[in-house]
C-alpha cells in the first residue's frame, strides 16, 4: 500500500506519493518521477534578492513538471524577517500560483487572520493548504469555512483533526524522519477508519489537488 505524504523536507525513498519541499539547488538533478513543491519561505527572505528569487521561481515552475505546488510560502510573526517583506513575498507567490494554476502549501505562524484575509481579498480559487496544522478545533473550523485544506503532522489537536472533513484532510511528515505510514496508523483509529480506507481517501484528494492539475 502506498501512503501519501504531501510535505516533507527529506528526499523521499518512495517518491510516487510524496511531495518533497525542495530548494532551487535540488532542481537540476531532480529525477523525473519525483514530485516537489517549491517556494520562498518567510524565514529566508531578503529584500536584496526577492525579485530575482521570484523570477527564478517562475522560471522553475515552467521548466520542471515535477513541481506540483508553490510553497512552502506564508507568514510567520515569530521570525525576524520584516513583516512588509513577508507580505510582499507571500502575495507575489499567491499571484504566481494563481496565474499558473498551482496549489499553495502555506506556512502560517501566529498569522491566521492575515492569511485568511488575504485569501478573501484576493478571491483566490486555487487550493490553499495549511501545512503542519496544530491549532484548536475552533481555528480549524474557521479555516475550513474559508475553503482551506488542513495538513496534519505528528503533532496535532485531536479535536481539530476529527472536525476536519476527510475531503479537506492531508497528512505529512514535515521535518520528521518517522515514516508517514506510522502517522496513518496513528490517525486512522481516531477517524474510525481502516488504514487502507484513510490512505485511499487522502490519495484521492491529493490526486485532485496536486497530481492531476
The pLDDT, as a whole number, for residue 40 is 98
Which element (helix H / strand E) includes 50? helix 50-63
For the stretch 55-99, pLDDT in tens is: 999 999 999 999 999 999 999 999 999 999 999 999 999 999 999
User: What is the rounded distance in angstroms from the CA atom of residue 58 to the CA atom of residue 164?
Assistant: 32
Burial class (CB in 10 A: 0-12, 13-18, 19+), 11: middle
H or E element at residue 93: helix 83-100
Q: What is the pTM of this model?
A: 0.96
Q: What are the E-state strand segments in the chain? A: 5-8, 18-21, 35-38, 67-76, 104-109, 128-130, 149-152, 169-171
Percent above pLDDT 70 for the chain: 100
Domains within the chain, CATH numbers bracketed: 5-211 (3.20.20.140)
Indicate the pLDDT class of residue 149, thresholds 50, 70 and 90. Answer: very high
Mean pLDDT score of the chain: 96
Strand arrangement of the beta sheet that strand 128-130 belongs to? 5-8, 18-21, 35-38, 67-76, 104-109, 128-130, 149-152, 169-171
Tens-digit pLDDT profile for residues 103-117: 999 999 999 999 999
Amino acid at each position: 500500500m502506498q501512503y501519501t505524504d504531501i510535505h516533507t523536507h527529506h528526499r523521499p525513498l518512495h517518491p510516487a506519493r510524496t511531495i518533497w519541499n525542495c530548494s532551487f539547488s535540488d532542481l537540476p538533478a531532480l529525477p523525473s518521477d519525483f514530485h516537489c513543491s517549491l517556494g520562498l519561505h518567510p524565514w529566508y527572505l531578503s529584500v536584496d534578492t526577492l525579485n530575482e528569487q521570484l523570477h527564478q521561481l517562475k522560471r522553475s515552475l515552467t521548466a520542471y513538471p515535477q513541481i506540483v505546488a508553490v510553497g512552502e510560502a506564508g507568514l510567520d510573526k515569530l521570525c525576524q524577517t520584516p513583516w512588509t517583506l513577508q507580505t510582499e513575498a507571500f502575495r507575489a507567490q499567491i499571484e504566481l500560483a494563481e496565474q499558473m494554476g498551482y496549489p499553495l502549501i502555506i506556512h502560517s505562524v501566529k498569522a491566521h487572520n492575515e492569511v485568511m484575509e488575504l485569501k478573501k481579498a484576493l478571491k483566490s480559487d486555487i487550493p490553499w493548504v495549511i501545512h503542519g496544522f496544530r491549532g484548536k478545533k475552533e481555528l480549524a473550523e474557521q479555516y475550513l469555512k474559508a475553503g482551506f485544506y488542513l495538513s496534519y503532522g505528528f503533532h496535532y489537536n485531536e479535536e481539530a483533526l476529527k472536525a476536519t472533513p476527510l475531503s479537506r484532510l492531508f497528512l505529512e511528515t514535515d521535518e520528521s524522519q518517522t515514516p508517514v505510514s506510522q502517522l496513518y496508523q496513528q490517525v486512522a483509529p481516531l477517524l474510525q477508519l481502516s488504514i487502507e480506507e484513510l490512505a485511499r481517501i487522502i490519495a484521492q484528494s491529493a490526486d485532485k489537488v496536486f497530481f492531476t492539475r
